Amino acid sequence: MNPSTLTRHRWPLVAGAGALVIYALFFASSYDQRILTLSGIYVIMVLGYQFIFGHAGALSLAQGAFFGVGAYVTGILASKFGTGFVLTFPLSVAGASMLALIVAVPVLRLASHYFALATLALSQLLLLIAVNWEAVTGGANGLPGVPPISIGDWQATRGLPLLLFVWGLAVVAMLIARWQLRPARVAAFTVMRDTPLAVPAFGIDPGLLRLRAFLLSAAFGGAAGALFVHTNRVVSPETLGFGVMITCLTMTVVGGRFGILGAVIGALLLTHLPEWFRGLDEYYLVAVGVLLLAMVVFAPDGLASFFKFSGSTHTPISTPAQPGSTEYAPPVASGRPVLEASNMSRRYGGVQALDGVDLALGAGEIVGLIGPNGAGKTTLANIITGIARADTGNIRSAGLDLARATPTAIARHGVARTFQTPQLPDGLTVREAVETAAANAGDTANVRGAATAAEAIATCDLSDIADTRCGTLPHGLRRRVEIARALAGGPHLLVLDEPAAGLAPEEQAEIAQILRTLAGSGLAILVIDHNLEFLQPLATRLACLDAGRLIADGPRDDVLANDAVQAAYFGLVMPTSTSGVSA
């Protein structure tokens, strides 16, 4: 977006914010000020919810529970023990965060629907505790007599002081959210949402990223709950009710799942809509419902999306260095293999996908892995990169036991891969995708992060399209971008799963040339492909799998002349065809 567009979009917002401040300071009645105070509280809760629901893309139904925990921690300590705000507020934030940390281990591993159900169950459990643990929580009636916010001699009982204090904290929450959502992290979240399969290949730890989002959502929820009870001066099971969660979800969807503006619009609108429509008496709920539905239909990305810059957090991550020539020299003693796999076996139910496979790869070698469909080639690639585990055997690369390391650790160690279907985050530009992989590479590679990203882009001849979004690229370019992404962390071993599939001959030639250059720089490359027109001139060595067993491994021409290979592989294709083999 160019600066003039930005300015044009920003003016209505600046004017709107100014009008709101003037209204709050000079025209709002004490009731209006109370509604505005509640809006500020909800802004904090929604900002937190955006981390897990928007950025991490996980439907958490626990935000109401975190709000309630914050409310009860403050409510109990303040009303029963007279503890002051200076202590109760951080304890409310810590209480909600602790709960999130405790439930994160079992809950965050769950896939989408199960995650939603588990978080819903957590809310219901807490609600039951609040209602039934009468001695502590006051039961269904809750605990009255929560004192107002006081810091030293200063008190924010109600009206303007409370309103300004709450919005002051909302601004602090906005600053924390901005700090947490720096471009590199937003890009990592985008990768996690757009290409879950390839997250480890980017060097991103999906578990840690999700945990961070969950903890932040809980901390913000707890803070909002604490402020809520000081505003209402009573804590009751309603603060843990599903209604709070639905309100938060609706605000986030209507305002926008990303960005401060989305949280502010959603919170202001949802707290004021019932007030504006109250004159319709018993029909007001219908009117509010219809309006919300219309908003969701006409602004599916939230009302903030009308102000385009609000969601455009994808600024370039770094200033790329000048392309140079990276040495992909492996961190192994000269002459030692970069990959050593022995006796690898893997069974899926009744299928023996791999059966006692031995394979070694040296620096600068390009090894072609061939075999009919279902021979076990992808299974081997998955085992090398940690996506699948072998039942038996040893596998090491440059000092790392690949059988025990996580896929993210393996990628960070310098074992890169591409996928049969290119896995790229549609929402990022080529530069952002490659830089994200560079930024998340291991410590050693990280030192040269941005330079490696720029070099990878140049090596794959992508400089002209570096600022194009991955989602708009044709298939051939997506394959090259994926190779650039794989190179960005400075790997010593590259595993490519059918890199020529679906490419025109000239595109295949471009990829082959890139791979030759990389091998010349010391990179060990394992290329899985059926296409012998592509592989034959490229690979220095061929290995052939059949029904999970390695039936040949050696110089290209010897393997192709091998009887077992001829029977297993060429027996399945027309003798005249050398490409597009299919079984």
Q: Are 344 and 545 in contact (CB under 8 A)?
A: no
Report the residue number, 354 or 439, with the smaller CB distance to ligand ATP. 354
Q: Residue 418 and residue 198: Cα distance in Å, rounded? A: 9
68 lines the binding site for ligand ATP (CB under 6 A): no
Counting other chains too, the contacts that 154-162 makes at CB distance below 8 Å and 24 or more residues apart are: 156/230, 158/30, 158/33, 158/34, 158/231, 159/30, 159/33, 160/24, 160/25, 160/33, 162/33, 162/37, 162/230, 162/231
Q: Which is nearer to ligand ATP, 371 or 425 (CB)?
A: 371
Contacts of 544 (CB under 8 A, 6+ apart): 369, 370, 371, 550, 551, 552, 553, 559, 562, 564, 565, 568, 569
3-state secondary structure 415-432: EEECCCCCCCCCCCEHHH
**Using CB under 6 A, which of the segments 35-43, 310-318, 347-355, 466-474 binds ligand ATP?**
347-355
Out of 7, 112, 157, 373, the only residue in the binding site for ligand ATP (CB under 6 A) is: 373
Distances (CA, A) of 578 to 375, 456, 525: 18, 31, 22
Closest separation between CB of residue 376 and ligand ATP, Å?
Answer: 4
Q: In what order do the strands lie in the sheet with 549-555?
A: 415-417, 493-497, 524-528, 366-370, 541-546, 549-555
Interacting stretch for ligand ATP, rule CB under 6 A, among 31-39, 348-356, 435-443, 532-540?
A: 348-356
- Of 183 and 374, the one with the shorter C-beta distance to ligand ATP is 374
Would you say 72 and 137 are in contact if contact means Cβ atoms under 8 Å apart? yes
Q: Is 371 in the site for ligand ATP (CB under 6 A)?
A: yes
H or E stretch including 348?
Answer: strand 339-348
Member of 139, 323, 374, 393 binding ligand ATP (CB under 6 A): 374
Asked if 370 touches ligand ATP (CB under 6 A), the answer is no
Pick the stretch among 150-158, 172-180, 184-192, 376-384 that binds ligand ATP (CB under 6 A).
Answer: 376-384
In angstroms, give the least distance from the CB of 346 to ligand ATP: 8
- The residue whose two tokens read 């300590």 is 77
Q: Given the complex with ligand ATP, which of 432 and 497 has the nearer CB atom?
A: 497
Question: Quick count: other Cβ atoms within 10 Å of Cβ 582?
Answer: 9
Task: Candidates 243, 348, 472, 516: give the one binding ligand ATP (CB under 6 A).
Answer: 348
- Smallest gap from Cβ 485 to ligand ATP, in A, equals 21
What is the Cα–Cα distance from 197 to 74, expressed in whole angstroms?
42
Site string for ligand ATP, 378-397 (x = CB under 6 A): xx------------------
375 binds ligand ATP (CB under 6 A): yes
Selected binder of ligand ATP within 353, 470, 525, 550 (CB under 6 A): 353
Q: In angstroms, what is the minimal distance from the CB of 569 to ligand ATP?
A: 11
For residue 17, the Cα-to-chain-centroid distance in whole angstroms is 32
Pick between residue 273 and residue 344 the one whose CB is nearest to ligand ATP: 344
| Neighbouring C-beta atoms of residue 442, cutoff 10 Å | 17
- Residue selected from 210, 377, 549, 556 as contacting ligand ATP according to rule CB under 6 A: 377
Q: Which stretch binds ligand ATP (CB under 6 A): 74-82, 209-217, 269-277, 369-377?
A: 369-377
Q: Is 376 in the site for ligand ATP (CB under 6 A)?
A: yes
Token digits of residue 342? 């022995």
The site string for ligand ATP over 418-447 (x = CB under 6 A, - otherwise) reads: ------------------------------
Q: Tell me the pairing of strands 493-497 and 415-417.
A: parallel
CA 3 to chain centre: 29
Q: Under the rule (CB under 6 A), what is the footprint of ligand ATP?
A: 348, 351, 353, 371, 373-379
